[in-house]
Structure 1
Amino acid sequence: MKFFRFDRLAWVFMRVSGVILIGLIFTHLTVNLMQDGGVKAIDFAFVAGKLANPFWQWFDVTLLWLALIHGSNGMRVVIDDYVYRTGVKRFLLVSLVISTTTLIVLGTLVIFTLDPCPVGSPADLLPSFCPAG
C-alpha cells in the first residue's frame, strides 16, 4: 500500500513541477537570452552579478532542484518499466539517486558560494559593483 502512495505522490509531483518548470524556464530564457544584448552579453560578470542577488540565487536553486528531481523521477519510471532484472534495476536506481544528489549538492554550492569579485581577476571581466584593484 505504501508503494502505491509514493507512486501517486510522484505522479502529482511530475504534473505540478512540470507546470512550475515551464514558468521558470521561460523566465530564465527571457532574462538570460532576450534582454540586454542577448546571448552575447552572457559572461562571468553577467552571471556573477545575477547570482549576487538573493532573488536570482533562490530562483536558480528552485529551477535546479525541480529540474533534477523531475528528470530523475522520470528516469526512475523508465527504469521501473523497462528493467526487469532485480540486480540491474537496483544498481541503476542507486546510481540515479547518487548522481542526482551529487548534482543537486554541487549545483546548490556553486549558486550560493560563487564569489562575484574574485581577487586578482581582470577588472573588465568583473561586475560593475566589484571594487577596482
Structure 2
Amino acid sequence: MTTAQPLHIDSPRSAPPRRNRAHTNTELYAWLFMRVSGVLLVILVLGHLFIMNILDGGVQRINFGFVAGRYASPFWQVWDLLMLWLAMLHGTNGLRTVINDYTRRDATRFTLKMVLYTATTLVIALGTLVIFTFDPNIK
C-alpha cells in the first residue's frame, strides 16, 4: 500500500514567486500620475468654469470674437493646453487600465491599446495645433 503525500500549503507570509522579467515601476508611476493629474484637472476645470460662467458673464458671450480674444493671451493658451494634455493623458491612462483588466487575449489587448494610443496622439496633436496656430485674421 502507498501512503498519500500530505498537501503542502505555503505560509501566507511567504514571498510571492519571482518572475524572470526586469522590475519596473511603470504601474507605480501611472498610479501617481493619475492622482497628481486628477488634482490639477480639478483645479483647472473648476477655475475654467468659474471664470467662464461667473466672471466672464456666462456662456451666452462665447462666440468667435471671444475665443479670438482669449487665444491672443499666452496665459489662456497654456491654461487650455494643460487642460487638454492632462485630460487626454489621464483618460488614456484610465482606459489603458480598463483594457488591461478586462481583455483576455493578448492580441485583443494590443489592438485596443494601439487604437487608444493613436486616437490620443491625434487629439493631442490637433488640439495643440489649434491652440497655438489659431489666427482670427485668416480670410
Residue 15 (structure 2) aligns with? none
Gapped runs of 5+ residues in structure 2?
Answer: 1-20
SS at match of 1:116: coil
Give TM-score scaled by structure 2 length.
Answer: 0.81
Gapped runs of 5+ residues in structure 1?
Answer: 120-133
Q: How does 1:1-133 map to 2 (within 5 A)?
A: 4-119=24-139
> Partner letter of residue 6 of structure 1?
T
Structure 1 residues 79 and 44: alpha-carbon distance in aligned structure 2, compared to 1, 3 A threshold: same
User: Where has structure 1 moved over 6 Å in runs of 4 or more?
Assistant: none
Residue 9 (structure 2) aligns with? none
Give TM-score scaled by structure 1 length.
Answer: 0.85
Structure 1 residues 41 and 90: alpha-carbon distance in aligned structure 2, compared to 1, 3 A threshold: same
What is the Cα deviation at residue 28 of structure 1?
Answer: 0.9
How many residues in Structure 1 have an aligned counterpart in Structure 2? 119
Calculate percent identity across the aligned residue pairs.
49
C-alpha RMSD of the superposition: 1.3
**Does the CA-based 8 Å contact 1:52-1:116 persist in structure 2?**
no
> Partner letter of residue 52 of structure 1?
A
Structure 1 residues 3 and 111: alpha-carbon distance in aligned structure 2, compared to 1, 3 A threshold: farther
Structure 1 residues 82 and 58: alpha-carbon distance in aligned structure 2, compared to 1, 3 A threshold: same
Kindly indicate which of the two structures has a greater share of residues assigned to helix.
Answer: 1
Q: Which has the larger radius of gyration?
A: 2
